[in-house]
Amino acid sequence: MKKISILAAMLTTSFGAQATVANIDGQAGGGLVPWALLSSGPTVAYTHIGTQNLDINSLAINTSFSNRVEVSYAHNMLNDSAPVLNAGGALVGNNTDNVDNFGIKVKLNDMSDSMPQFALGAVYKKASGNLASTLNTALGVNTSSTDVYGAVSKIVNMAGKNVLLNGVLRATKANALGLLDFGGGNTAGASTGYKIEPELSAEIFAASNVVVGAEYRRQPNYAMAGTAQATYLSQNSAYDFHVVYVANSNFSLTAAYVNLGTVAPVANGYTRQNGMFLQGQVNF
């Protein structure tokens, strides 16, 4: 494996090289964690995540240009059945939120036998809807922010199987991937700056058209114990275990167990939000 071009960005199957999963926020990756590798070309993916209280649907598109730059967009739709504090101090339920994610990723080099591939990326996130507005008014959290990240990916051979290893460092203010706005708000003493968080993923080419993998994404925690702010902003790491079935060169299906960590634990009544991640992806 001398010099790997854009084809290395895709998981190679018997149907050729293609990206099999899109991140919930749009980029080519594993579902939660972006890769340093680029999208194969025009791709559309629809993702559903269902947990104890959260129902998240995401429509994502991405493509790449000149084997150097990837652009992406994802529209995330959240329905949270738990009550939330409104501007008048009352608890209201069945809250909805939307997050628009506009991403760009720039490849810095091609992968080789001795060198992994590196990339820099940014995702501008804009939250809207009654939940975003309510938290902005009640807690002073921001409704938009930009994540900036660096990623490194390497394909290696382990026990006769190709394995994609991937790591990310992300500067972010996102609460629950941006679904609960950004930063710590205006509570006295609250943190409002960026936090640097690690992300890891691994993908194993288990068969000619099957890929199995796992991801870990640490998230910033802006919660302050003993305050109303902690009711909604307390969070911790997210992770998943997934299986990808590549039906043909144009279509793949992904099923995963996903744990989004703590999401508004007091309001939701659960310390963890875990459930199923399902995605269908079409490559053009």
Residue 75 predicted with pLDDT over 90: yes
How many separate domains does the chain show? 1
Mean pLDDT value across residues 247-266: 86
CA 85/CA 94 separation, integer angstroms = 12
Query: Which residues form the domain of 89?
Result: 3-283
Mean per-residue pLDDT, 122-150: 92
Sole residue written with tokens 């104890």: 52
In the chain, the percentage of residues whose pLDDT exceeds 90 is 53
Summarize the confidence of residues 18-26 as an average pLDDT: 79
Residue 18: predicted pLDDT: 43
Residue 202: its pLDDT value, please?
A: 95
Average pLDDT for 71-88: 77
The per-residue pLDDT for 83 is 59
- Tell me the pTM: 0.89
pLDDT digits (tens, 9 = 90+) for 161-173: 889 999 999 999 9
Residue 257, pLDDT > 50, answer yes
Determine the Cα–Cα distance for residues 262 and 271; give it in Å rounded to an integer: 5
pLDDT band at 82 (very low <50, low <70, confident <90, very high): low
Beta pairing partners, 147:
123
| 109 vs 96, more confident | 109
CA distance 1 to 6: 13
- Alpha-carbon dihedral sign for residues 275, 232, 217, 126: positive
pLDDT at 20: 64
The domain that contains 211 carries what CATH number? 2.40.160.40
- Rounded mean pLDDT of 63-91? 78
With bands split at pLDDT 50, 70 and 90, how would you rate the model's confidence at 275? very high
* Per-residue pLDDT tens over the stretch 109-130: 988 888 999 999 999 999 998 8
Q: What pLDDT digit, counting tens, does each position of 185-226 carry? A: 998 888 899 999 999 999 998 888 889 999 999 999 998 887
